[in-house]
Amino acid sequence: MIRAIWFLIKVAVVIAIAVWLADRPGTVTVTWLGYVIEMSFAVAVLIGLAALALAALGYRFVRGLLRSPGKLRRYGRSRRRERGYRALTQGLVAVAAGDAHTARKMARKADGLLNEPPLTMLLSAQAAQLQGDDRAAREYFTAMLDRPETAFLGLRGLLTQSLKAGDRVEALQLARRARSLQPNTPWLLGTLYDLEARAGDWASAEGTLQQAIQAGAIPAEDGRRHRTVLLLERSFEAERRGRGDAALSHAQQAHDLMPGFVPAAVRLARLQLAAGRHKQASKVIERAWRQGPHPELADVYREVTDGYDPVARVKLFEKLLTQAPNSVESQIAVARVAMEAKLWGEARNRLTRALEIEPSRRLYRLLAELERNERQDEEAARGWLAKAAAAPADPAWTCTECSAVSHAWGGLCGHCGAFDSLQWKAPTLAVSLMEPTEAAPALAKPSAA
């Protein structure tokens, strides 16, 4: 609407000028190089206007010509970027699809077309990794460390590589460096915690574990158990350094966190026993027994009641029986002390009851022992031993990571170095009982203090 009005105004002005000129006739005479040109004033004005219009057109044409290379260049650049991003996208899709060849080709193409090192370096590294070229991937990841915007990604790549290669010392350094850049990344906290624990750096691991639980990397219930294991390892460490009080207080904390956790109860009771606190040690075992009878608890109870008359000791063990009367472990524990006290009838009753609850290799062996000691009946003993040989293996501290069996509990698997991986269960493979290896010096076995 405004444009139409504006146009009408312009037309009106032109008409007004034309009328004004027509009303005032006159001539213009031009003398140039001997020529004389005569024309009316109106025509002269028209020629002047036409000349101006031509000049304006010429100016625009020349300006357009002068500017076109820049425009062409810009057009070329945007085409290049477009192609670069397309290559980058295709490369990422290829990585996701596991197509190493295309990924690498697209990475090179994107790198040539785009001036975006953070993006193309990551793609190049991933493509190299996919192709199994760890050295090239490592170079890309290392180059990424130089730029603040890619440093964390580079560290993550290098960390994954060193974990894959089993270089835990380097992995720990990288993980600590990565945490200084991004302190609250859940996966990083979980990994760092595990590396610190495997390295036997118990105090640092405990701090990182708290952070990992807060960040949601480790469920609270698992975290509680991990913390218990860490406290037990700190207790062993304190004992090795001759700090008996700290050893006892760490064990007490561990036991308070998980009263039914056998290694914690065993550790605390043994330290209390060593400090001459027999009564407290008995209470710890009885409390743990109520939550879950276990042969190692029975062993410590035997140590606690060592000074007693054999028959009085059987009476004490019956306390355990009242804590968990239907447990095969309760029956076996009483039967063993009864055999030592030569209370054969009591021993036989207990073992027979245990056999009704759940037969096991260990139980058959005890029955063989009873036949030999009570009745000197070799034939009956051999019968039980044959049954023992055919029975499935008894539970032991078995690593959930590598299936190796340790004869004593520890926070680290003596075979594969995994943290908190030992569980009391029947070994799945026929792995011989092994001693914790020298390769894992941080592994400490609970010893009779």
Residue 232: CB minimum distance to Zn ion, A? 18
3-state secondary structure of 397: strand
Residue 416: CB minimum distance to Zn ion, A? 3
Nearer to Zn ion, 56 or 433 (CB): 433
Nearer to Zn ion, 363 or 413 (CB): 413
Nearer to Zn ion, 284 or 404 (CB): 404
Burial 349-372 (b: 16+ CB within 10 A, else e): ebbebbbeeebbbbbbbbbbbbbb
- Phi/psi for 397 (5° steps) reads -75, 100
The answer to whether 318 touches 301, Cβ cutoff 8 Å, is: no
The yes or no reply on residue 159 touching Zn ion (CB under 5 A) is no
Distance CA 361, CA 199 (A): 37
Of 87, 113, 91, 112, give the one whose Cα is nearest residue 102.
91
Q: How many residues bind Zn ion (CB under 5 A)?
A: 8
Nearer to Zn ion, 215 or 402 (CB): 402
Residue 400: CB minimum distance to Zn ion, A? 8
DSSP 58-81: HHHHHHHHHHHHHHHHHHHHHHHH
Residue 444: CB minimum distance to Zn ion, A? 16
Residue 416 Cα distances to 72, 311, 347, 413, angstroms: 64, 44, 41, 6
Nearer to Zn ion, 151 or 416 (CB): 416
Nearer to Zn ion, 66 or 430 (CB): 430
The answer to whether 193 touches 209, Cβ cutoff 8 Å, is: yes
Q: In what order do the strands lie in the sheet with 422-425?
A: 405-406, 396-399, 422-425
Helix, strand, coil % over all residues of the chain, rounded to 5: 70, 5, 25
Residue 210: CB minimum distance to Zn ion, A? 25
Residue 360: CB minimum distance to Zn ion, A? 24
Give residues with Cβ within 8 angstroms of 214, minimum separation 6: none
Judged by CB under 5 A, the chain residues 217 through 276 that form the site for Zn ion are none
Q: Which value, in Å, is the radius of gyration of the alpha carbons in the chain?
A: 44
3-state secondary structure of 443: coil
Residue 431: CB minimum distance to Zn ion, A? 10
Residue 430: CB minimum distance to Zn ion, A? 16
The answer to whether 343 touches 335, Cβ cutoff 8 Å, is: no
Give the end-to-end CA distance of the chain in Å, rounded to a whole number: 102
Nearer to Zn ion, 427 or 446 (CB): 427
Residue 413: CB minimum distance to Zn ion, A? 3
**Binding track over 396-425 against Zn ion, x by CB under 5 A:** ---x-xx-x--------x-xx-x-------
Nearer to Zn ion, 334 or 418 (CB): 418
Judged by CB under 5 A, the chain residues 304 through 323 that form the site for Zn ion are none
Pairing of the two strands 422-425 and 396-399: antiparallel
Nearer to Zn ion, 253 or 403 (CB): 403
Nearer to Zn ion, 143 or 416 (CB): 416
- Going by the DSSP 8-state scheme, the letter that residue 166 receives in this structure is T
Residue 132: CB minimum distance to Zn ion, A? 27
Residue 136: CB minimum distance to Zn ion, A? 33
**Binding track over 361-400 against Zn ion, x by CB under 5 A:** --------------------------------------x-
Tally of CB atoms within 10 A around 152: 18
Pairing of the two strands 422-425 and 27-32: unpaired
Tally of CB atoms within 10 A around 261: 21
Nearer to Zn ion, 254 or 412 (CB): 412
**Which residues of this protein are in contact with Zn ion, per CB under 5 A?**
399, 401-402, 404, 413, 415-416, 418
